[in-house]
Amino acid sequence: MPLIVLLAAMALAANPLTQQEPKYLEPASIDFMAILPNPPTDDSAQTRAELDEILSLQASRTPEQVSRIKAEHSITPAAFAQLIGPTFDFKTHPITDALLHQVTVDSRSVTEEAKAHWNRTRPYDLDPAVQPAVDKPGNASYPSGHATLSCTWAIVLQQLFPEKKSELLARADEIGADRVIAGVHYRSDVAAGKKLGQAIAAKLLASKSFQSDLEAARKELSATK
């Protein structure tokens, strides 16, 4: 590892990006109630239509989809690695990996507050005919955390790999859609997650602290090409 990258990695280790508290934004700075509409109520026609869509997708799930869905359940930035390069590994780029870890912490701090606020019932708790393809999450349904986080990651990764913009966004959309196929989210959860992810990413990009760490990641990637 070149000396400049090694020194940057040591600096981050001394003041770790891998902290478990938000660093780049204050959760309260994201007004999710202004950004997102209220979710459909459990007894609404829209929720029934969304449940019917989930049941239709459930009936046509393929083994390939189930395999992908299970691999995405405990989601990490590795879900985007092959888009960057067939052998790319975030773990061999510790500065970039730490940046994305901190983005994860910041994003989830907002999403969990939004979930707790709306406390939308998960599809399988509303209709027992829904059989999830993955373990049942323990939190509320709206907005989708996977959709929020994958959208946020995709926008951050665009800053590092601008030539992969369309592929990164398409992968984020696929991850969100897979949560509907999996039977753990409604379509409206995913749409809300994407919108919230865009708002979070915009706030991150406006952060001087984030921009400083992003530049360190750029240098690392440049030095290891």
Domains in the chain: ranges and CATH: 3-12+41-223 (1.20.144.10)
**Using CA atoms, how far apart are residues 32 and 24, in angstroms rounded to an integer?**
17
pTM, two decimals, is 0.90
Kindly write down the DSSP assignment for every residue of 191-223, as one continuous string: HHHHHHHHHHHHHHHT-HHHHHHHHHHHHHHHH
The 8-class DSSP code of residue 164 comes to G
Q: CB–CB of 199/35 below 8 Å?
A: yes
Per-residue pLDDT of the chain (225 residues; tens, 9 = 90+): 444 444 444 444 444 445 689 999 999 999 999 999 999 999 999 999 999 999 999 999 999 999 999 999 999 999 999 999 988 999 999 999 999 999 999 999 999 999 999 999 999 999 999 999 999 999 999 999 999 999 999 999 999 999 999 999 999 999 999 999 999 999 999 999 999 999 999 999 999 999 999 999 999 999 876
Give me the long-range contacts of 106-109 (CB less than 8 A, separation at least 24).
106/22, 106/23, 106/24, 106/25, 106/200, 106/204, 107/148, 107/149, 107/152, 107/197, 107/200, 108/145, 108/149, 109/21, 109/22, 109/27
